[in-house]
Amino acid sequence: MSKKYSQKVAFILYAGIITGMANSAHAVVMDFETELVDITTAAFTQNGLTLTPIDSGVGTNHWDLNLSGQFGATTEDFSAGIHRGNNGEKVDFTYFNGSFDLLSIDIEVVYSDLFVSVTEGTFQASSGATHTVSNRGTIDFTSLAGWSGITSFSFFMPSGSANCNDAGVDCPGIVFDNVVFQEHVVSQVPVPAAVWLFASGVLGLARLNRVARYS
């Protein structure tokens, strides 16, 4: 077998590896840094992910942008918040290009009032998976079942104190930030098969090189 042919095989293997790497997903983030409105009834889109207010704790459907310590936050960047009120408050997240994997979300502030001793918010995926939070910290959704290959998810809080207002005053609520996600990629070749093919190609290439040396 000629050396030229073995080099061609090597190029094909290399091209296959590069193509597989190109098809891998890359994580992006919704961090609310491009939003400028304090309290908004409009949907917000960043990196292809759209947040839409569905239900409001009080008044019109809206979500709150965390600005300069609003809700007692100590972070310097922008964050988003929802709160309890006369009704539950809810926001939906959808991805413009179909299914995606939710990787993590930072819960930055959890605040209560005199009427609610424990503040809880619940994430629910289109898969039916749910996850309830009541403390600050980063939620690692990769360690939870049902958050990969979803088409949407929501975050909501139940009804709360009746004296809550649009600005979030006297409202228990949760501030969140850094919604990290990636487009869901379905491998064309199952991983075990891909490993077997790669190993076979390497062994075959080694044999071709050996034959070429003695031909």
pLDDT, one tens digit per residue, over 126-152 is 999 999 999 999 999 999 999 999 999
Q: Does one domain contain both 13 and 92?
A: no
Q: Which helix (H) or strand (E) is 192 found in, with range?
A: helix 191-214
Give the span between the Cα atoms of 64 and 110, in whole angstroms: 14
Q: CATH code at 54?
A: 2.60.120
Q: Does one domain contain both 58 and 139?
A: yes
Domain total for the chain?
2
Tens of pLDDT along the chain (215 residues)? 555 545 544 444 444 444 454 456 799 999 988 877 777 778 999 999 999 988 665 566 677 877 644 444 444 578 888 877 656 688 999 999 889 999 999 998 887 765 555 678 999 999 999 999 999 999 999 999 999 999 999 999 876 655 565 555 556 788 899 999 999 988 665 555 555 555 565 555 556 555 555 55
Q: Which domain holds residue 206?
A: 3-23+189-214
* Bridge partners, 151 (sequence order): none
Q: Does one domain contain both 11 and 103?
A: no
106 and 73 Cβ atoms separated by less than 8 Å: no
Helix (H/G/I), strand (E/B), else coil: 62: coil
pTM: 0.69
The reported pLDDT for the residue numbered 176 is 92
